[in-house]
Amino acid sequence: MSIRTTSSREKVLQILEQLQQEISAQELYLELRNQQKSIGLATVYRVLKSLKLEGLIQERLSPIGESFYSLITPSHLHHLNCLSCGRVVSLEDCPLSETISQWSDAQQFKIFYHTIEFFGLCSVCQAEQQ
């Protein structure tokens, strides 16, 4: 498969590399505008979809339904999500890395990335409920 390099792709990838953290499509669009990089919001969404399908970026869906995008890195993150206040805690360790690698090999399936999301209540919201 031939991957076409476009100025829009380069602009989006450049921002993601600069930030080194996840960002929503809307925030990415605003950042591009702040840097005087002309690109429409619809194009941002198209580029993000293309980059995701190529395995260059990952998408994480927040508990409120908003998508966040970031470069795929060897040290992926997992999250604890509070359903009450929306607080998100990133977890550095992946308890399933070895198992996922075995599954991938057994199924002859190329995995670009994976996510693990836990949903519940943070300690502050638990205390407020009591």
How far is C-alpha 113 from the chain's CA centre? 10
Convert the pLDDT of each residue in 6-21 to its tens digit: 889 999 999 999 988 8
Q: What is the distance between the alpha carbons of residues 16 and 94, in angstroms, rounded to a whole number?
A: 23
Token pair of 40, please? Answer: 């429409």
Q: What is the distance between the alpha carbons of residues 72 and 113, in angstroms, rounded to a whole number?
A: 7
The answer regarding whether domain 74-130 maps to CATH 3.30.1490.190 reads yes
Domain boundaries, the chain: 1-73, 74-130
Convert the pLDDT of each residue in 78-124 to its tens digit: 889 899 998 888 887 787 888 988 999 999 998 887 878 888 999 99
- pTM score, whole prediction: 0.66
The answer regarding whether domain 1-73 maps to CATH 3.30.1860.10 reads no
pLDDT reading at 75 higher than 70 = no
- Residue 106 has a CB neighbour count (10 Å cut-off) of 8
